[in-house]
Structure formats: structure tokens, C-alpha cells
């Protein structure tokens, strides 16, 4: 479960990061591209509008080519001068046939601007009026005749300097014109494809002559009506987004351009797809990496957990194999070191328990007892087997050691029971210390009681094995100040006490007869009442100038 | 040589016959003349000479004459139902130097006029005027095409190719007409005595009528402002 949740967390973080980065990249790229393409579209539309104007100018020039020829026609001038409408229409028709202008509208007006041919048709009179007002040699413009938009050129017909009338040559602007224009603007009208460019002419808010299909025109008209001229407007045609633009061409006619935004939409979709694809691939990689990583962390963690459990159960020999050199690996190493340390401590504890009482060992291990050199008041007890060397003469070494060890074990046990520590064994002699490293409530008394117990124990042991060599012990006890601490070389240390107090105890032990326990006056003082003892003669002790008062413990 | 002299002879004979015809009859003794002056406005500077030229073919255009355009003076309804024979020798309205010469011509009804092209370029003479609509088409130098004017009225003559080429043919009901000279002077002979309407026609289309009385053997003087 823990493994799973850890893996899940890691996965969530990584996947979240990838998704966030992908999303951000997508957003930035999309916005940048959109902005750039909008700018490009605007430039394209304006360039297309200029092309549109140039195409218009070219068509006007083409019209003027015909118009100027007709304006120079003597027949038209003669007919106009004659003033006979029949003749004039006949001549006009003839001119139209000669010039093969079957789709061209030819209008003849008199010098006041009144249309003579075609009779009663006033559509072009505005253009003629403009030519009259401007006194110009040629005038271009648009006019609507019926439902049809025309582009026309007007020139005066003269004889000499006199203006006889005006001739207008006009082309109808139809959907085919718009198609040609769109082609000139580079729109590929491939079947099935939505065209890149739509063009049209706007007259009285209505779109005439356009590449737009009739049902689409209404929407463009209403969209253009709502927006001021010269601004870009978005409009949707056949589910394709377009940008629409209208600019005045004069005579109440506006050029309309629509540019498809589909390439932008396609490009953005492609980008989005690519970004999402990259994101998806990154996520799959993430998933793999996460799983591996989680496993790589979880397995050693599980092993460590198992190791910890075993240690709790007491198996200090457990070790975890460090698989990697990273933090996890170092953790495993640290675990192993810890286990090793625990094991070593346990081993020391075992040794210590053999040397001191478990309580003292515990105190020592906890570090509560200062093992540095200290002046302490201690009670030192020496216990010696009388005549041991003589007794063991002729005995097998093994039997000697066995005998000695049994004695020492029993004595050591008694010392411990009474809160002392066995400082050292020197041959058949035991040195025990009470009050160091840990002072007891009454160390002197404890030492006296221990001595009595040791005597009793020796007697019991002797009685229990009557056929064996009978051992007699002598005990000396002294209380006083001594230096306590670890002594020895830096390689080997032992906790011991040093000083006159120790020496006096040893001397007292030497002075004791078999079965006798000798205690100094200081010990008796320290032990207080409750001890049955008899005062002996003061004895002179080697190394001490004064005679020492000695008590024999009963 | 013989053919040529025969031609001249025939022409002389014809002229004598016309004179005989005109002088013959009961009127011959009862005729007078009309003479006078028409004040002619100076010719407007026209674009003659700056007409279309075809590349590689410089047009030889004579400079437009400085003289004023002449006018025509004729007697209206002076025929009294009589008919007049057209002149045997048709008058010529030539195209030369990208101009019609003469620019103004008067003929009696029924007269055939020759339109010879004396330029080394094509001309196309036509008219849409009601009294005579015709189109002679394009024809090259040296060629001539005739037109018979069979209705009275003014016929405006154009060349389809040259904008500035203009001419007027005034077709009169009778032979009592005259085209003024550069100074505006005219004289009409053999007009029957009696009251007549004398009409002055100018190239701008305006006509002025005057009542006159011809006294036999005398010349009436009529001046037009």
C-alpha cells in the first residue's frame, strides 16, 4: 500500500508537470501563431485589395480602348449631329457589331447628358453627368442597370471643338468577373476545396457579382452592414471561417474581399495535435520512469522495513544489501552500520555482564557512570586462599584451574549480589570494590556482609565436597578514598581503584588468618551499627607509619 | 488625240444646249439677277491638321484655310412647277490634302456629284442627312464615286476616317442659287421676274429668308448681315 501511494504520488507529480508544460507550450505557440497569422492575413487582404484595384484599373483601360475608338467614330458623330434617333441607334448597333461588343453596353447621350441610345435608359446618366461636370476627356465609374452592376467609361463625342454628345462603354460585372478576379488574387477554386479568397461588389448593402454562393451573401451583407468600412470582420461561410473586408470604390460601390482562415485553423489543429502527441509520449515515458524509480526506491525501502522488523524481534545479525550508491543506498549502509553497532553493543553487554553486576553494566552502557579518574570513597575487599600454592602441589593444572574457577565463580557471585564489582583476579586472590563505579547506600556494610557470605559459602563448599582439598580463605576490608577510573594503555583499559586504601585492604587480607575477616576502623565507622566485631590489637602494617586499628568481623 | 478632241467637242455642245434650254421659253425675256454680299463670320480655329495619323504613314494634310466658310444663297419655290435638267457634266467634290474641296457646294435637285479621291490615302465619304443618305465606302486614290442628290435639303458630308473633313452640299429645288466667294459676294443670274423668297443658308445650319422682287433685266441687290 505504501509502495503504491508513493508511486501514485510520484506519477501524479510527473504527469501533472508534463501536462502543465504541454498545455503552456500549446497555449503560447497557439497564441503566437494566431497573432502572426492574423497579421499576415491583414497584409494579404490589403495586398489583395490593391491587386483588386489594379485589376479594376486594367478593366477600365480595356473599356477605354473601346470607348476612345467609339468617341472618335465619325459615323456616330455624324448621326448625333443629324439628330435622327433611328439613324443614331442604327449606327450605334452597327458600331457594336463591327467592334464585336456583344456583351458590352453602348450608351450614347446628347450634349445635355440625356440618353439617346438605348432610348429611355437612364442608368448611365450619372456617369455622363459626371463627365459633363468635370469637362474631362474620360470618366470611369459604376452604375446599376436593372439588377446588373456595370463598370463603364464615358468620353465626349466631338466635331472640331464642339461636344456633340457622350459615349459610354460598359461591361456588366457578373459572377464570372468575380471568379476571374479571385483567380487573379490567387484563389485556387479546386472542386471540393473551400476557396481561399472570395471577392464581390457591394452595392446598396447588397452583394452583386461575387464568387460567394447566393445563400451565403445575406450573412456577409448583414455582417458588413454592422461594421464600419475598412475594418476586418469575421464571418463563417459553409463552416469555414473567413475574414471579410470592404473598401469604397466610389459610385456607391464597395469592393468586398473574404480571406479563408481555414489554413490557420488547419495549422493550429496540426500544432495542437503535435503538442498533444509529444505530451502523450512524454507521459508514457514518465509512467515508465516513475514505475522504475518507484520500484528502485520501494524495494530497498521494503528491505529496510523488513530489516528493522527483524531487529525489533532481536535478530541483530540482519543486513540489508545496498543496491545503489544514492541516498537509499547510503540509508541501507547506515542501517547495516546501525545493526552492526547494536550487535557490538550487545556483545559488549554480554562481556560487561560477566565482569560487573547487570545493574552496573546497564549504568555503564547508558553512560551514566563516569569512568574517568575520580577520587571516590570506596570499600575495597581482598579475599585470598590460604596456602593455595602448597595445597595445589602435585595437582594436575586442569584440576587446579577447575578448583580455582569454582571458588572464584562462587565468590564473584556473592560480590555481585552485594553490589560490588570484582576488580581483578590476581592468582588465588580476588579484589572486589564497593562504591565504584556506582555508590551504594552503604558500601562498607555491603562489603562486610559480602565477606561474611563469602566465608559461609566457602564453608558450605568445603562441607559439600569433603573428599576434595579444603580451601580456607582470609578477607581484608578497608574503606577510604581511592582514585577510580579506566587505567591502562590506549589499546587496553580496565576499570580499577588505586591508592593507600587499596593497599591497606590488601595488607589486612594478608594479615588475616584462615577463616578470619579483618576490617579497618574506617570500614567499621562507615558500616555503622549492626555489625558484630571484636577489636584486635593495633597492628603495624608495611608502608604505613602508624599502627592500624583492626576489627575482626564475627 | 481624236478621242480627246471628241470629248471636248461633246462638252462644248452640251454647254451650248444647257444655255439654250435656260434662255429658251417664255421666261427668257422676263429674267433678272440677284447680287449682294453676305457678312461671313471668321472661321473658328479647328483641329484640322491634327487628325489621327497612322504610324509609318505621314498624312499630307493641308493647313486649314484661313478664309471663312462660304454661305449659300438660293431662291425658294422659284420653280413654279417647272423641272430643270441637271448639268451634263457632274460637279466634282474632291478629297485632297485630307479636305473636301469645295467645302460648300450647291446643286439643283437631280444633280449627280462625283467624289474623286485625289489623296494617296483612303477616304470614306458618307452622309446620314435625310435628303441623301449614302456611304461610298473606302476607296483609294484616283478613284471616284458618284452620288445623285434627288431631294432638296442640306446634306452634311463626312469622311469616316478623318474627323476634321467636313463638307456641305445644299440641294436646291431650282438652279437659282449661288455660293458666296471668300468676301461673301454672290450673284444669281436668270431669276424669273416676280416676287421670291431668297434664303441664306450658313454652315452652322441657320437660314435667313428675305422677300425680294425681281424686275426683268435688272439686278436686285440683297445684302445679308
Asked, for residue B8, whether it belongs to a domain, the answer is: no
Q: In this structure, how many other beta carbons lie within 10 angstroms of the beta carbon of residue A430?
A: 25
End-to-end CA, chain B: 51
B163-205 residue pLDDT tens: 888 899 999 988 899 999 989 999 999 888 888 899 999 988 8
Give domain limits for chain A: 2-173, 193-258, 370-553
pLDDT value of residue B23 = 45
Give the nearest chain B residue to A88 (CA atoms). Answer: B128
B52 touches A at CB < 8 Å:
yes
B57-95 residue pLDDT tens: 455 555 666 788 899 999 987 666 677 777 888 899 999
Asked, for residue B63, whether it belongs to a domain, the answer is: yes
Q: In this structure, how many other beta carbons lie within 10 angstroms of the beta carbon of residue A549?
A: 15
Name the band, by pLDDT with cuts 50, 70 and 90, for residue A141: very high
**Counted domains in chain B:** 1
How far off is chain B from A90, nearest CA to CA, in Å? 11
Residue pair B204/B196 in contact (Cβ under 8 Å)? The answer is no
How far off is chain B from A56, nearest CA to CA, in Å? 28
The cell numbers describing B121, all together, are 490615302
Find residue A202's DSSP bridge partners.
A207, A254
B-chain residues within 8 Å CB-CB of A156?
none
How far off is chain B from A164, nearest CA to CA, in Å? 13
Q: Do B46 and A74 touch (CB under 8 A)?
A: no
How far off is chain B from A82, nearest CA to CA, in Å? 6
Residue pair A522/A480 in contact (Cβ under 8 Å)? The answer is yes
Higher pLDDT, residue B209 or B84 = B209
A-chain residues within 8 Å CB-CB of B161?
74
B164 touches A at CB < 8 Å:
yes
Q: Do A78 and B163 touch (CB under 8 A)?
A: no
Could you tell me the strand order of the sheet in which A105-110 lies?
A115-117, A105-110, A162-173, A148-159, A139-145
Same fold across A2-173 and A370-553: no
The cell numbers describing B122, all together, are 483612303
Letter string b/e over residues B109-122, b meaning 16 or more CB atoms within 10 A of that residue's CB: bebebebbbebebb
Q: If DSSP codes are grouped into helix, strand and coil, which group holds residue A158?
A: strand
Find residues 84-123 of chain B whose CB sits inside 8 Å of chain A: none
Residues of A with CB under 8 A from a CB of B: 72, 74-75, 77-79, 81-82, 84, 87, 91, 159-161
Interface-testing mutation among B100, B128, B153, with chain A (most A C-beta atoms within 10 A): B128
- How far apart are the C-alpha atoms of A532 and A88, rounded to whole Å? 173
Residue pair A115/A108 in contact (Cβ under 8 Å)? The answer is yes
CATH of residue B161's domain is: 2.60.40.420
B43 touches A at CB < 8 Å:
no
Asked, for residue B10, whether it belongs to a domain, the answer is: no
A-chain residues within 8 Å CB-CB of B129?
82
A476-493 residue pLDDT tens: 999 999 988 877 776 676
End-to-end CA, chain A: 72
Residue pair A500/A396 in contact (Cβ under 8 Å)? The answer is no
The cell numbers describing A543, all together, are 608502608
pLDDT value of residue B71 = 94
The cell numbers describing A48, all together, are 489583395
A279-310 residue pLDDT tens: 889 888 888 888 887 777 778 888 888 888 99
CATH 3.40.50.170 fits A2-173, yes or no: no
Contacts 24+ apart (CB under 8 A), A99-102: A99/A66, A99/A69, A99/A70, A101/A66, A101/A169
Residue pair A431/A382 in contact (Cβ under 8 Å)? The answer is yes
Look up cell 468676301; give the residue: B183
What fold does the segment set A370-553 form as a domain?
Alpha-Beta Plaits (3.30.70)
pLDDT value of residue A188 = 60
A-chain residues within 8 Å CB-CB of B156?
78, 81-82
- Residue A252: name the closest of A133, A98, A130 by CA: A130
B126 touches A at CB < 8 Å:
yes
Residue pair A497/A482 in contact (Cβ under 8 Å)? The answer is yes
B-chain residues within 8 Å CB-CB of A137?
none
Would the pLDDT of A250 be above 60?
yes
Task: State the average pLDDT over residues A144-148.
Answer: 87
CA distances from A367 to A354, A363, A378, A414 (A): 18, 6, 20, 25
Would the pLDDT of B148 be above 90?
yes
ipTM, two decimals, is 0.73
Q: Do B163 and A82 touch (CB under 8 A)?
A: no
Q: Exposed (0-12), middle (13-18) or buried (19+): which is B16, by Cβ within 10 Å? A: exposed
- How far apart are the C-alpha atoms of A290 and A280, rounded to whole Å? 15
Task: State the average pLDDT over residues A103-109.
Answer: 88
pLDDT value of residue A262 = 81
Q: Which helix (H) or strand (E) element contains residue B108? A: strand B104-108
Using a pLDDT cut of 90, give the percent of chain A over it.
19
Residue A64's contacts (CB-CB under 8 Å, 6 or more residues apart) are A138, A140, A153, A155, A169
- How far apart are the C-alpha atoms of A432 and A497, rounded to whole Å? 10
pLDDT value of residue A184 = 82
- How far apart are the C-alpha atoms of A475 and A518, rounded to whole Å? 6
Look up cell 459610385; give the residue: A251
Interface-testing mutation among A72, A78, A156, A161, with chain B (most B C-beta atoms within 10 A): A78
Q: Which domain holds residue B93?
A: 30-45+58-221
Q: Do B128 and A159 touch (CB under 8 A)?
A: no
Task: State the average pLDDT over residues A436-462.
Answer: 90
B129 touches A at CB < 8 Å:
yes
Nearest to B156 among A72, A81, A160 (CB): A81
pTM greater than 0.95 (yes/no): no
Nearest to B156 among A75, A78, A160 (CB): A78
Task: State the average pLDDT over residues A498-520.
Answer: 91
Question: CA angle, B90 as apex, B84 and B91 as ends, to 5°?
Answer: 105
Residue A523's contacts (CB-CB under 8 Å, 6 or more residues apart) are A379, A444, A447, A448, A477, A478, A479, A551
pLDDT value of residue A330 = 86
Would the pLDDT of B156 be above 70?
yes
What is the residue-averaged pLDDT of chain A?
85
Interface-testing mutation among A72, A155, A156, A160, with chain B (most B C-beta atoms within 10 A): A160
B-chain residues within 8 Å CB-CB of A79?
128
Q: If DSSP codes are grouped into helix, strand and coil, which group holds residue A551?
A: strand
Nearest to A75 among B52, B129, B160 (CB): B160
Residue A61's contacts (CB-CB under 8 Å, 6 or more residues apart) are none
The torsion angles phi and psi of B103, rounded to 5 degrees, stand at -75, -30
The torsion angles phi and psi of A116, rounded to 5 degrees, stand at -100, -40
Amino acid at each position: 500500500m505504501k509502495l503504491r501511494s508513493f508511486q501514485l504520488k510520484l506519477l501524479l507529480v510527473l504527469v501533472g508537470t508534463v501536462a502543465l508544460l504541454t498545455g503552456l507550450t500549446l497555449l503560447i505557440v497557439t497564441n503566437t501563431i494566431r497573432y502572426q497569422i492574423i497579421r499576415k492575413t491583414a497584409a494579404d487582404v490589403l495586398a489583395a485589395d490593391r491587386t483588386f484595384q489594379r485589376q479594376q484599373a486594367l478593366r477600365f483601360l480595356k473599356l477605354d480602348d473601346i470607348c476612345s475608338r467609339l468617341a472618335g467614330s465619325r459615323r456616330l458623330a455624324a448621326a448625333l449631329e443629324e439628330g435622327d434617333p433611328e439613324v443614331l441607334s442604327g449606327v450605334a448597333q452597327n458600331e457594336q457589331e463591327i467592334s464585336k461588343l456583344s456583351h458590352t453596353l453602348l450608351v450614347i447621350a446628347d450634349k445635355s447628358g440625356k440618353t439617346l441610345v438605348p432610348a429611355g435608359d437612364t442608368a448611365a446618366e450619372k456617369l455622363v453627368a459626371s463627365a459633363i461636370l468635370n469637362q474631362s476627356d474620360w470618366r470611369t465609374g459604376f452604375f446599376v442597370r436593372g439588377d446588373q452592376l456595370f463598370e463603364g467609361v464615358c468620353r465626349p463625342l466631338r466635331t472640331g471643338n464642339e461636344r456633340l454628345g457622350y459615349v459610354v462603354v460598359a461591361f456588366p460585372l457578373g459572377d464570372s468577373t468575380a471568379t476571374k478576379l479571385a483567380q487573379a488574387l490567387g484563389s485556387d477554386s479546386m472542386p471540393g476545396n473551400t476557396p481561399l479568397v472570395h471577392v464581390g461588389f457591394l452595392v446598396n448593402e447588397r452583394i452583386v457579382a461575387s464568387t460567394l454562393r447566393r445563400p451565403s451573401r445575406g450573412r456577409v451583407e448583414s455582417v458588413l452592414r454592422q461594421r464600419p468600412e475598412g475594418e476586418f470582420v469575421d464571418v463563417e461561410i459553409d463552416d469555414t471561417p473567413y475574414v471579410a473586408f470592404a473598401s469604397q470604390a466610389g459610385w456607391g460601390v464597395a469592393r468586398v474581399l473574404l480571406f479563408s482562415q481555414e489554413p490557420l485553423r488547419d495549422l493550429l489543429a496540426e500544432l495542437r495535435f503535435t503538442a498533444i502527441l509529444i505530451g502523450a509520449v512524454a507521459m508514457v515515458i514518465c509512467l515508465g520512469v516513475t514505475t522504475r524509480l518507484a520500484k528502485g526506491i520501494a524495494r530497498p525501502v521494503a528491505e529496510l522495513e523488513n530489516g528493522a522488523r527483524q531487529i525489533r524481534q532481536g535478530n541483530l545479525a540482519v543486513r540489508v544489501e545496498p543496491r545503489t550508491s544514492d541516498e537509499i543506498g547510503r540509508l541501507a549502509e547506515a542501517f547495516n552500520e546501525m545493526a552492526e553497532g547494536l550487535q557490538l553493543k550487545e556483545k559488549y553487554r554480554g562481556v560487561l555482564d560477566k565482569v560487573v553486576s547487570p545493574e552496573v553494566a546497564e549504568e555503564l552502557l547508558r553512560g551514566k557512570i563516569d569512568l574517568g579518574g575520580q577520587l571516590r570513597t570506596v570499600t575495597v575487599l581482598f579475599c585470598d586462599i590460604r596456602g593455595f600454592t602448597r595445597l595445589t602441589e602435585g595437582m594436575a593444572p586442569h584440576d587446579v584451574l577447575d578448583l580455582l574457577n569454582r571458588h572464584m565463580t562462587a565468590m564473584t557471585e556473592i560480590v555481585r549480589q552485594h553490589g560490588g564489582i570484582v576488580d581483578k583476579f590476581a592468582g588465588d586472590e580476588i579484589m572486589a570494590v564497593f562504591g565504584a563505579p556506582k555508590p551504594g547506600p552503604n558500601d562498607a556494610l555491603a562489603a562486610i556482609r559480602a565477606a561474611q557470605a563469602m566465608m559461609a559459602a566457602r564453608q558450605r563448599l568445603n562441607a559439600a565436597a569433603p573428599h576434595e582439598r579444603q580451601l580456607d580463605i582470609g578477607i581484608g576490608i578497608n574503606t577510604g578514598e581511592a582514585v577510580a577510573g579506566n587505567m591502562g594503555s590506549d589499546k587496553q583499559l580496565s576499570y580499577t581503584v588505586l591508592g593507600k586504601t587499596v593497599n591497606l585492604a590488601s595488607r589486612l587480607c594478608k594479615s588475616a588468618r584462615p577463616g578470619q575477616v579483618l576490617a579497618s576502623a574506617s570500614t567499621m565507622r562507615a558500616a555503622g551499627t549492626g555489625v558484630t566485631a571484636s577489636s584486635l590489637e593495633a597492628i603495624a602494617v608495611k608502608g604505613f607509619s602508624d599502627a592500624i586499628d583492626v576489627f575482626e568481623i564475627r | 488625240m481624236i478621242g480627246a478632241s471628241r470629248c471636248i467637242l461633246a462638252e462644248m455642245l452640251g454647254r451650248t444646249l444647257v444655255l439654250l434650254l435656260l434662255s429658251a421659253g417664255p421666261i427668257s425675256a422676263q429674267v433678272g439677277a440677284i447680287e449682294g454680299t453676305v457678312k461671313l463670320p471668321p472661321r473658328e480655329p479647328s483641329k484640322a491638321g491634327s487628325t489621327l495619323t497612322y504610324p509609318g504613314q505621314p498624312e499630307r494634310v493641308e493647313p486649314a484655310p484661313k478664309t471663312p466658310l462660304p454661305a449659300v444663297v438660293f431662291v425658294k419655290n422659284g420653280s413654279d412647277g417647272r423641272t430643270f435638267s441637271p448639268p451634263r457634266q457632274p460637279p466634282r467634290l474632291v478629297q485632297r490634302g485630307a479636305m473636301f474641296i469645295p467645302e460648300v457646294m450647291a446643286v439643283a435637285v437631280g444633280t449627280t456629284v462625283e467624289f474623286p479621291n485625289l489623296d494617296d490615302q483612303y477616304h470614306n465619304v458618307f452622309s446620314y442627312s435625310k435628303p441623301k443618305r449614302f456611304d461610298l465606302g473606302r476607296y483609294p486614290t484616283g478613284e471616284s464615286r458618284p452620288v445623285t442628290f434627288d431631294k432638296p435639303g442640306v446634306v452634311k458630308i463626312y469622311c469616316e476616317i478623318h474627323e476634321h473633313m467636313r463638307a456641305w452640299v445644299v440641294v436646291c429645288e431650282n438652279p437659282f442659287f449661288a455660293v458666296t466667294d471668300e468676301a461673301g459676294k454672290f450673284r444669281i443670274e436668270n431669276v424669273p421676274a416676280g416676287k421670291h423668297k431668297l434664303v441664306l443658308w450658313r454652315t452652322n445650319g441657320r437660314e435667313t429668308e428675305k422677300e425680294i422682287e425681281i424686275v426683268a433685266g435688272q439686278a436686285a441687290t440683297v445684302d445679308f448681315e
